[in-house]
């Protein structure tokens, strides 16, 4: 459990980070909270020769309100999100998801930017941000671009970020204070989701039911055409491709998705 040798390069601006990524190329990776990357390096599933440490870029931290959205810096920790009065007021589903990430140690070190950039389909924040119609701001050598949640998650541990992009901000439109629910099923307390479900108004998003957070499109369509919650929830696993692993079989995940979508729809309605 010892990582391969690497060079550690601390940077203090986004430009320095982007330039360093560009200079060192595929052999380099950004380091934020280190709570996904370092475990992978210890297992030698990732062996970057250069780690560009962005933790000291102070303007990538914090949460502010702008017109009808929240702007969250990529280095904002899960704990800061969980306890932010602004997030609780304008995007309570995001606070609820952050509160369920790992344990307190993980929440104090792990960042929202690292969580979404890592591209794990079970990431609590990725699933909730997708449901909340968030968008992601990336700075690369050719400037700044904003990527919607629909286009951000591309495949297993793969997002729309290029190798030399720095994710700087996450934009969250003011989400409903009612009609939302975040459900997470775990084998143990304080663990990764076996399956998760985020409902925000008409969006129903599933975590850990495929390579990326997935829309339960058939359930959404059923609700839109007047089906009741039980009927709609029965379609929850359509178009998904859950895997079997030590925590659950694919069939059990399919079962969970249906049960949890039903629970989420009921809880969201109850909040309305
Ligand atoms: C014991 C344990 C339990 C956990 N449980 C959960 C859980 O229940 N739910 C959950 O969702 N997560 C869980 N996590 C993961 C945790 O949320 C991580 O904090 C998160 O996935 C990664 O954030 P980080 O800041 O640590 O990123 P890092 O590990 O530093 O980086 C992760 C990846 O993102 C890239 N990256 C980081 N920041 C940026 C950026 N600004 N721009 C571009 N690329 C970037 C890195 O290069 C790397 O590839 C757990 C982790 C551990 C160790």
Where are the CATH 3.30.43.10 domain residues in the chain? 7-53
3-state secondary structure of 103: coil
Where are the CATH 3.30.390.50 domain residues in the chain? 180-271
Q: Compute, in degrees rounded to 10, the torsion defined by CA atoms 21, 25, 27, 30.
A: 20
Where are the CATH 3.30.465.10 domain residues in the chain? 58-173
Residue with the smallest CA separation from ligand 1 atom 53 is: 35
Residue with the smallest CA separation from ligand 1 atom 2 is: 102
Q: Which CATH architecture has domain 180-271?
A: 2-Layer Sandwich (3.30)
Contacts for 181 with CB less than 8 Å, ≥ 6 apart: 93, 197, 198, 199, 263, 264, 265, 267, 268, 271
d(CA 48, CA 30): 10
Q: Which atom of ligand 1 is nearest to the CA of 167?
A: 42
Q: How confident is the model at residue 189 (pLDDT cuts 50, 70, 90)?
A: confident
Nearest to 22 by CA among 36, 38, 11: 11
Whole-number Å distance, alpha carbon 109 to ligand 1 midpoint, is 9
Tens digits of residue pLDDT in 10-34: 999 999 999 999 999 999 999 999 9
Kindly give the residue spans of alpha helices, DSSP state H, lying in 14-90: 14-24, 37-42, 78-82, 85-90
Whole-number Å distance, alpha carbon 105 to ligand 1 midpoint, is 12
Element (H, E) at 77: none
Whole-number Å distance, alpha carbon 255 to ligand 1 midpoint, is 28
- Could you please state the CATH topology (level 3) that the domain comprising 58-173 is classified under: 3.30.465
Pocket of ligand 1 (CB under 6 A): 29-37, 39, 54, 74, 101-102, 106, 110-111, 113-115, 117-118, 123-125, 161, 166-167, 191-192
Tens digits of residue pLDDT in 130-188: 999 999 999 998 999 999 999 999 999 999 999 999 999 999 999 778 899 999 999 99
Whole-number Å distance, alpha carbon 197 to ligand 1 midpoint, is 20
Tens digits of residue pLDDT in 42-75: 999 999 999 999 999 999 999 999 999 999 999 9
Whole-number Å distance, alpha carbon 38 to ligand 1 midpoint, is 9
- Could you please state the CATH topology (level 3) that the domain comprising 7-53 is classified under: 3.30.43
The reply to whether the predicted model has a pTM over 0.75 is yes
Cβ–Cβ < 8 Å for 248, 185: no
């Amino acid at each position: 459990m010892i990582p391969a040798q690497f060079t550690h390069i601390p940077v203090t601006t986004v430009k320095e980070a982007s330039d360093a990524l560009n200079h060192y190329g595929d052999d380099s990776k950004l380091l934020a909270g280190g709570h996904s990357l370092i475990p992978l390096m210890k297992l030698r599933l990732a062996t970057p020769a250069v780690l560009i440490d962005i933790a000291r870029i102070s303007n990538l931290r914090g949460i502010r309100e702008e017109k009808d959205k929240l702007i969250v810096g990529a280095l904002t920790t899960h704990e800061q999100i969980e306890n932010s009065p602004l997030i609780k007021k304008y995007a309570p589903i995001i606070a609820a998801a952050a509160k369920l990430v790992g344990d307190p140690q993980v929440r104090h070190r792990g960042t929202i930017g690292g969580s979404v950039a890592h591209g794990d389909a079970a990431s609590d924040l990725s699933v909730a941000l997708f449901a909340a119609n968030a968008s992601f701001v990336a700075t690369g050598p050719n400037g700044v671009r904003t990527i919607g949640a629909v286009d951000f998650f591309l495949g297993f541990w793969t997002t729309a970020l290029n190798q030399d992009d720095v994710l700087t901000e996450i934009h969250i439109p003011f989400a409903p204070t009612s009609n939302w629910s975040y459900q997470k099923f775990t084998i143990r307390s304080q663990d990764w989701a076996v399956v998760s479900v985020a409902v925000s108004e008409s969006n129903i998003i599933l975590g850990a039911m495929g390579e990326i957070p997935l829309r339960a499109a058939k359930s959404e369509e059923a609700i839109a055409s007047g089906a009741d919650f039980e009927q709609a929830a029965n379609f929850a696993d359509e178009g998904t491709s859950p895997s079997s692993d030590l925590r659950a079989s694919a069939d059990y995940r399919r079962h969970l998705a249906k049960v949890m979508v039903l629970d989420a729809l009921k809880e969201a309605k109850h909040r309305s």
